[in-house]
A and B are shown apart, each in its own frame.
Chain A
Amino acid sequence: MKVRVKFEKLGAMKFIGHLDMMRYFQKAIRRADIDIAYSEGFSPHMIMSFAAPLGVGVTSSAEYFDMELRSVMSSHEMTRRFNHVMADGVRVISVRKIPDGKASKGMSLVAAADYYVEFRDDKVPSCDWQNQLSAFFSQASITILKKTKRSEQEVDIRPWIYELNCEENRIFMKLASGSVQNLKPELVMEAFYRFLNEETQPFSFMIHRQEVYADIGTPDQRKLLSLESLGEEIE
């Protein structure tokens, strides 16, 4: 059976990189005595796949990985077992059954993600950035210079910003994410700083990922559902 694990990654755990988080969960699965399935061959490995790698320094309320189990327990029991062996800052939120087949490929499903961006106390722009944000978002196009290893290219990122607004002192953004189009919140902020005519300073804001979505709509009409809601509780 395939299950999807949703977990949060907060506090100091944001300094643990993506590959180390995978290693962390490989060990956690053993500590929690979860009956995961292994691949065949001389050096078998756990059958699991992580969705949407998170950058170092970013916290998250919605990290996901899928794994194949040999024998199954209730969602409640597996969540309890995980949380019994977690490090401070990582908490498993849910373990849900997902259908075999296409839906199980967590990574390729990802279509969008929600982020909160918050300025550090001493790095809040002095201007009226809250009102400027809606002006920034109402532009027909937002071009940035995208640097790749080989070239620099002007790209319009406006189509990949699905929502952008202000919630108290934080900026909320819903962005295209995943293997087809992937827009990082840092790039949006870079464009916004330029719009404000302010210099981008390193480490001036904190990013938090709030949710990751799959798109189950049509090419014309997006319909975003959280990866978690595609699974169902195991009683």
Chain B
Amino acid sequence: MRKLALNDTILLKIDKPARYIGNEINSVMKDKNNVNVRFAMCFPDVYEIGMSHLGIQILYDMFNQREDVWCERVYSPWPDLDEVMRKEQIPLFALESQDPVKRFDFLGITIQYEMCYTNILQILDLSQIPLRAQERTESDPLVIGGGPCTYNPEPLAPFFDMFYIGEGETVYFALLDAYKENKKNGGSRKDFLKRAALIPGIYVPQFYHPVYAEDGTLQEFQVLESDVPATVQKQVVMDLSDTFYPENPVVPFIKATQDRVVLEVQRGCIRGCRFCQAGMIYRPTRERDIQFLKERASEMLKSTGHEEISLSSLSSSDYSKLPDLVNFLIEECGRMHVNISLPSLRIDAFSLEVMNKVQDIKKSSLTFAPEAGSQRLRDVINKGLTEEVIIDGAGKAFEGGWNKVKLYFMLGLPTETAEDQKAIAHLAENIARRYYEIPKDQRNGKCQINVSTSFFVPKPFTPFQWASMCTREDFLNRAKTVREEIHAQLNQKSIKYNWHEADVTLLEGVLARGDRRIADVVQKAYEDGALFDSWTESFHLAHWQKAFEQCRIDPEFYTIRERSETELFPWDFIDTGVTKAFLLKEWQTALEEKVTPNCRMVCAGCGAASFKGGVCIESKS
């Protein structure tokens, strides 16, 4: 039996010891003496969140298919264990072997949201790896980052040896081979990084140097090594039906956030909402073959024993073979007593019919994400959903027995006025009215409309990357306008309203569009005690305020400042395929309140066609 890194006394004292013992079904054990490369794959948040992430499951399976590589998992120790590990100087360990991460060749960290940045420093710190790449020695693991936040890696640049820009399935094996080769030749860490920087998609921040203008904006992004390319190309898998996808995903003992089989039906989104980063960086939209999906679904259900399967994609309704796939799952899952969960479905006749079959109507609710209250503002953000479609969809659902609706909006969008904010309340009211049009004896009690607003954060590589954010007061006033207008509605008792925190949003705004100077702030905040910032109960603004002051950095430079159309952005050295010229054109079209049709209707010439695949080469109907 394996020896655990933590002794019984510790494990019995902390919450949920199962987070730290490994040994889960389908976790991979190897003999460490028979592999050349040991890779620790980390999701810098608590186990239950990290275990729910599909990307790591894909890479874990892919890496472990290689006999010369052993890939293990690492998650953030919860504060109770964090305290013990610091006090007793226990180095952070990987779940499978329970060996210290610092003895590994690689530490890979997936960076899914900005508010996990201090958790990344916790991982390095507890692993006893120097926080800054420049301070690491030959014996330290190579720290590599991946995931959506690496599309602006600059606020984290000093902490990483490398970033992998794009989808992991493409060049990781080339990187591992280069590592083995370098090790065999007795090459140094620096030798390897130089080689790695030549692999498409690999960004080695220490070979680049930002120069700032007097006004604080980026003037130049210098390349310090001769052969190293000035732009880094995003990596994409062009054939999603002939690539890595786990047949045996790891099954946690404790209930994870996503305690089910996840079937990713496609990558990318044809819709082109102008605030959405995923919709831009994962272009072009590529579907998986339905046969591939059917086979994987059956295999994964059998190998995990999960009682639920969920479809995953940015907009499942746009998957061209959706009815076929869903009918297959209903039949297959019905036989196996497996539930089907269908998030991100457009509410229409088909989805209502499907939901009727797979969900308990009394318990489930309908979800709409109009994102903006008025049609004018929905045109600005290029969200195709109209009020007519929403009312019609809700009406059909109400007649079918549903009585709960969730509505998601953003506040603080470019060009937004008080009228747009009030329109959120009016839309909710109109949905409620539609419900009460149904004769009393035919409806299911009162209706419940839950309105949620989050505050808008402009993201790199979106048409809104030029937009300025609101101040804290401005954000909260907008929420107040919505709240008061909802209270003024006839059916206000059927409408519940909640809004997100403004402080976290503003910080997220700084980290999302920050430059390399922000790294000092992240480190200071961490050293002052910031950790698990994405958890409301552990987020403390004071750590960050102090850090900004100490670093003499004005957060408003990154949030509310107007950016000129010619400004050089810290992330401009990355080539996502979607051109800056297209994004700028979309920004201007947005300000003209005009929509851009989706990729299936007409090609808008974003630039992703250079990858020669997916929706870009489908015949247009």
Contact = CB atoms under 8 A, between A and B. Distances in A.
Nearest to A11: B1
Contacts of B253: 16, 20, 23-24, 87
Contact of B307 (A10, A30, A57, A203): A30
A85 interface: yes
A29 B18 contact: no
A42 B363 CA distance: 11
Interface in A158-191: none
Interface-centre pick from A26, A88, A120 (highest chain B CB count, 10 A): A88
Nearest to A46: B337
A203 B12 contact: yes
Contact of A57 (B4, B12, B306, B339): B12
Interface string A49-60: 000000011000
B17 interface: yes
A89 interface: yes
A13 interface: yes
Interface string A13-24: 101110010011
A27 B18 contact: no
Contacts of A85: 25, 305
Interface in A71-105: 85, 87-89
Contacts of B336: 30
A31 interface: yes
B602 interface: no
A215 to B, nearest CB: 32
Contact of B24 (A17, A28, A31, A87): A87
B71 to A, nearest CB: 19
Nearest to A16: B253
B301 to A, nearest CB: 8
B1 A87 contact: no
A222 B134 CA distance: 73
A34 to B, nearest CB: 10
Contacts of B18: 15-17, 20
B337 A57 contact: no
A155 interface: no
Contacts of B24: 87
Contact of B337 (A16, A33, A38): A38
A20 B302 contact: no
B25 A203 contact: no
Contact of A15 (B17, B255, B301, B337): B17
Nearest to A38: B337
Nearest to A14: B8
A44 interface: yes
Given A26-B305, A30-B307, A56 B1 contact: no
B254 to A, nearest CB: 5
Interface string B1-23: 11010001101110001100111
B99 to A, nearest CB: 15
B23 A43 contact: no
A1 interface: no
B23 A13 contact: yes
A38 B360 CA distance: 18
Contacts of B255: 20, 23
Interface residues of B, number: 30
B303 interface: yes
A87 B26 CA distance: 9
A28 B305 CA distance: 6
A50 to B, nearest CB: 16
B37 to A, nearest CB: 24
A85 B305 CA distance: 10
B12 A56 contact: yes
Contacts of B17: 15, 56
A203 B25 CA distance: 28
B36 interface: no
Contact of A31 (B13, B254, B302, B337): B302
Contacts of A11: 1-2
B1 A88 contact: yes
Contacts of A57: 8, 11-12
Given A15-B18, A42-B360, A57-B8, A10 B305 contact: no
B251 interface: yes
B304 interface: yes
A27 B12 contact: no
A145 interface: no
A124 interface: no
A13 B21 CA distance: 9
A216 interface: no
Given A56-B17, A85-B25, A89-B23, A26 B307 contact: yes
Given A24-B253, A57-B12, A31 B23 contact: no
Interface string B234-268: 00000000000000000101110000000000000
Contacts of B12: 56-57, 203
Contacts of A29: 305
Contacts of B23: 12-13, 87-89
A127 B304 CA distance: 51
A12 B3 CA distance: 9
A154 to B, nearest CB: 28
Nearest to B254: A20
Contacts of B303: 31
A175 B317 CA distance: 59
Nearest to B252: A20
B4 to A, nearest CB: 6
B574 to A, nearest CB: 41
Contacts of A28: 305
A216 to B, nearest CB: 35
Contact of B304 (A16, A31, A89): A31
Interface in A118-150: 120
A31 B339 CA distance: 16
Interface string B487-510: 000000000000000000000000
Given A20-B18, A27-B307, A31-B302, A15 B11 contact: yes
Contacts of B301: 30
Contacts of A12: 1-2, 4, 21-23
Contacts of A120: 8
A200 to B, nearest CB: 15
Contact of B251 (A27, A56, A202): A27
A7 to B, nearest CB: 15
Contacts of B13: 203
Nearest to A33: B302
Nearest to A42: B360
23 contacts: A11-B1, A11-B2, A12-B1, A12-B4, A15-B11, A15-B18, A15-B21, A16-B18, A17-B18, A20-B18, A20-B254, A23-B255, A26-B307, A27-B25, A27-B251, A30-B302, A30-B306, A30-B307, A30-B336, A31-B303, A31-B304, A43-B360, A88-B23
The list of the 6 closest CB pairs from A to B, nearest first, reads A27-B305, A30-B305, A31-B305, A15-B17, A11-B1, A12-B21
Interface of B: 1-2, 4, 8-9, 11-13, 17-18, 21-25, 251, 253-255, 301-307, 336-337, 339, 360
Given A31-B303, A43-B360, 17 more contacts: A10-B1, A12-B1, A12-B21, A12-B23, A13-B23, A15-B18, A17-B18, A23-B253, A23-B255, A24-B253, A27-B306, A30-B307, A31-B302, A31-B305, A88-B1, A88-B23, A203-B9
